């Protein structure tokens, strides 16, 4: 799996992150893919937008999308620096027609990233077909959340990421740790295993573009990183 440091910009014309609708006030807001825009349109029509404030107080505008689709070209690990400890994020590179874009799923051991990697290992995934992604967050009766991505390969190839899935045999369990006096889970072993499996079983099958021959992707060692000691299930944009 390709790894590199990303400090902003990049070659992809469009960039998306996962953001909860009205997430600065509602930690249980519906998750969307968010794309930064320079300004709000005079007539948004049925398009959905949200305004947030950067650290310096200036407004930042985002357009929200419930789903995205395209051909998956690459899965990268990028190092992000938000002024604290560097974070390693899982970033998808996709193409839809003549348009390229990147989708940032958050930290490699975060829920969206883990769920994506489990699903993409499914034998139902076909790199020749478009992949449709839609983030979800479902609150359970006990107050916990089921968080991940609804993923469809082609028209009706729904991808599953259940722990007991046949193609996930051998995946380790998370380690139970105590963080700030509470029981949490360290998903480093799970993330390490999934990155290795995606590098071996998925990346070599991806296309350089939708009509080219398979790429010559090679598996790489999982980069070292410091786990945070517990998942932030409400991980959102850093402002």
pLDDT digits (tens, 9 = 90+) for 39-89: 999 999 999 999 998 888 899 999 999 999 999 999 999 988 877 788 899
- Mean residue pLDDT across the chain: 82
Check residue 163 and give its pLDDT.
86
Structure tokens at 109: 């051991």
Residue 228 has pLDDT above 80, yes or no: no
- Judge contact between 62 and 40, C-beta under 8 A: no
Residue 195 has pLDDT above 50, yes or no: yes
**Which residues on adjacent β-strands are paired with residue 46?**
none
Q: At 84, which helix (H) or strand (E)?
A: none
Nearest to 121, CA basis, from 208, 17, 199: 199
Helix residue ranges per DSSP H, the chain: 111-120, 188-201
Check residue 32 and give its pLDDT.
95
Question: Beta-strand (E) ranges in 27-168?
Answer: 31-37, 48-53, 59-65, 68-80, 87-96, 99-107, 131-139, 145-153, 157-159
* 205 DSSP assignment: G
**Which residues on adjacent β-strands are paired with residue 138?**
146
pLDDT digits (tens, 9 = 90+) for 128-153: 999 999 999 988 888 788 899 999 99
Non-local (6+) Cβ contacts of 107 within 8 A are 87, 88, 89, 90, 113, 228, 235
């Amino acid at each position: 799996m390709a790894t590199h440091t990303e400090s902003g910009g990049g070659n992809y014309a469009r960039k998306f992150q996962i953001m909860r609708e009205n997430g600065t006030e509602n930690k249980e807001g519906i998750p969307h893919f968010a794309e930064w825009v320079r300004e709000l349109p005079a007539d948004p029509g049925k398009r959905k937008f949200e305004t947030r404030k950067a650290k310096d107080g200036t407004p930042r505008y985002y357009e929200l999308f419930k789903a995205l689709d395209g051909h998956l070209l690459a899965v990268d690990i990028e190092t992000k620096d938000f002024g604290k400890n560097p974070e390693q994020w899982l970033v998808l590179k996709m193409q839809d027609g003549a348009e390229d874009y990147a989708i940032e799923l958050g930290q490699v051991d975060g829920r969206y990233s883990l769920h994506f990697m489990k699903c993409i290992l499914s034998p139902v995934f076909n790199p020749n077909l478009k992949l449709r992604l839609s983030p979800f967050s479902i609150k359970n009766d006990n107050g916990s959340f089921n968080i991940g991505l609804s993923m469809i390969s082609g028209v009706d190839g729904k991808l599953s990421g259940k722990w007991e899935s046949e193609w996930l045999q051998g995946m380790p369990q998370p380690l139970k740790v105590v963080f700030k006096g509470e029981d949490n889970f360290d998903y480093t072993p799970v993330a390490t295993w999934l990155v290795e499996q995606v590098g071996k079983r998925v990346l070599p099958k991806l296309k350089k573009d939708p009509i080219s021959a398979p790429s010559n992707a090679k598996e790489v060692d999982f980069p070292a990183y410091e786990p945070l000691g517990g998942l932030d299930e409400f991980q959102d944009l850093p402002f």
